[in-house]
């Protein structure tokens, strides 16, 4: 039997309208859709009526499906002739283990295609009005993992990042926020360095909280910040304040 195609697809950052046309088409044509927790459910309504929808994330209070099992299922569906969409939040290759899945497919000789998505750092930052690069404030940006829960993860060189990159966007950093801020301070970053937390970026529930390396941890506790959320560290956070101020002044002038 001819194996099916596997599409490793980015679903975008949360707002279902931020998916690409190509990704949407793959969803509409798939026999099986294996989707992660951060994927907006609305996107599943575009699937064929008889498509098999398989949740591959971690449901609250239960364990996540081991990556090996996900790989195995994906391979089995394809080898039995089904076209599979492996649907992941944001971009499938940014902190999404999509690269590992692609390697597995390549090694097993299964045809696959990777469809990029808008990663949450880009979606959340633009949506809340923080330009990750900005003339005079930032000429470089890095995407950083705030966790090393996978054990074999390379550790992040906060010492180098603190002084070589203007804007840091930290994924999976909410639960380790205190440590991350302390690390940046220990590396000599001023405690007045602005920090934003964007929770549920691009979704209707999007919330942005701002503070500094010295204050954000306490503010986040008070505001009960929850995942999914990103930390944005750098002077560019002030541009959002400026935007809000300019817009408010304009509204006052024009009524
Ligand atoms: N592949 C995904 C990232 C997966 S890692 C992407 O490209 O976006 C999961 C982390 O992404 C979360 O812990 C959170 O830090 C971030 N994240 C994903 N969606 C988000 C959203 N809508 N708002 C804020 N952060 C988000």
| Residues facing residue 35 across a β-bridge | 55, 87
Q: Which residues contact 220 (CB under 8 A, 6 or more apart)?
A: 174, 177, 197, 209, 211
Token representation of residue 7: 């599409």
Residue extent(s) of CATH 3.40.1010.10 domains in the chain:
6-115
Does 223 qualify as catalytic in the annotation?
A: no
Pairing of strands 167-171, 141-145: parallel
Does 58 qualify as catalytic in the annotation?
A: yes
Total Cβ atoms within 10 A of residue 56: 20
Q: Is the pLDDT of residue 151 over 80?
A: no
Query: Is any ligand 1 atom within 6 A of the Cβ of residue 3?
Result: no
For the entire predicted model, the pTM comes to 0.95
Query: Is any ligand 1 atom within 6 A of the Cβ of residue 228?
Result: yes
CATH code 3.40.1010.10 for 6-115:
yes
Q: What percent of the chain has pLDDT over 70?
A: 96
pLDDT tens string 218-250? 999 999 999 999 999 999 999 999 999 999 999
pLDDT tens string 178-223? 999 999 999 999 999 999 999 999 999 999 999 999 999 999 999 9
Residue 70, CB half-sphere, CA atoms under 13 Å: how many? Answer: 25
DSSP 239: H
Out of 22-36, 82-96, 110-124, 138-152, pick the least confident: 138-152
d(CA 116, CA 93): 8
Query: Is any ligand 1 atom within 6 A of the Cβ of residue 95?
Result: yes
Cβ pair 8, 116 in contact under 8 A: no
Residue extent(s) of CATH 3.30.950.10 domains in the chain:
120-243
CA of 43 from ligand 1 middle (Å) equals 17
* Mean pLDDT score of the chain: 94
Query: Is any ligand 1 atom within 6 A of the Cβ of residue 169?
Result: no
Residue 76, CB half-sphere, CA atoms under 13 Å: how many? Answer: 7
Cβ pair 230, 198 in contact under 8 A: yes
Total Cβ atoms within 10 A of residue 78: 23
Does 177 qualify as catalytic in the annotation?
A: no
CA-nearest residue, atom 2 of ligand 1: 90
Total Cβ atoms within 10 A of residue 243: 14
CATH for the stretch 120-243: 3.30.950.10
Q: Is the pLDDT of residue 255 over 90?
A: no
pLDDT recorded at residue 174: 93
- If you write DSSP's letter for every residue of 97-123 in order, what string do you get? SHHHHHHHHHHTT--EEEE----HHHH
CA of 120 from ligand 1 middle (Å) equals 5
């Amino acid at each position: 039997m001819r194996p099916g195609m596997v599409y490793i697809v980015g679903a975008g950052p949360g707002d279902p309208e931020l998916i690409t046309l190509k990704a949407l088409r793959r969803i509409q044509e798939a026999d099986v859709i294996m989707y992660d927790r951060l994927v907006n459910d609305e996107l599943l309504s575009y699937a064929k009526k008889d498509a098999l929808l398989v949740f591959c994330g971690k449901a609250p209070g239960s364990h996540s499906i081991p990556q090996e099992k996900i790989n195995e299922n994906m391979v089995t569906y394809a080898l039995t002739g089904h076209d599979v969409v492996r649907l992941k939040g944001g971009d499938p290759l940014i902190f999404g283990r999509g690269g590992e899945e692609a390697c597995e497919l390549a090694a097993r000789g299964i045809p696959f295609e990777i469809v990029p998505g808008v990663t949450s750092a880009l979606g959340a930052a633009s949506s809340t009005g923080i330009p990750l690069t900005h003339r005079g404030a930032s000429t470089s940006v890095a995407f950083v993992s705030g966790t090393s829960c996978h054990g074999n993860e390379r550790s992040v060189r906060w010492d180098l990042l603190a002084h070589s990159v203007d804007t840091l966007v930290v994924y999976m950093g909410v639960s380790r926020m205190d440590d991350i801020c302390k690390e940046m301070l220990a590396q000599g970053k001023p405690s007045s360095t602005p920090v934003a937390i964007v929770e549920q970026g691009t979704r209707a529930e999007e919330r942005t909280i701002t503070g500094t390396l010295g204050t954000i941890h306490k503010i986040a506790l008070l505001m009960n910040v929850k995942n999914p959320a990103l930390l944005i560290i750098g002077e560019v956070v002030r541009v959002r304040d400026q935007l809000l101020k300019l817009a408010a002044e304009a509204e006052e002038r024009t009524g």
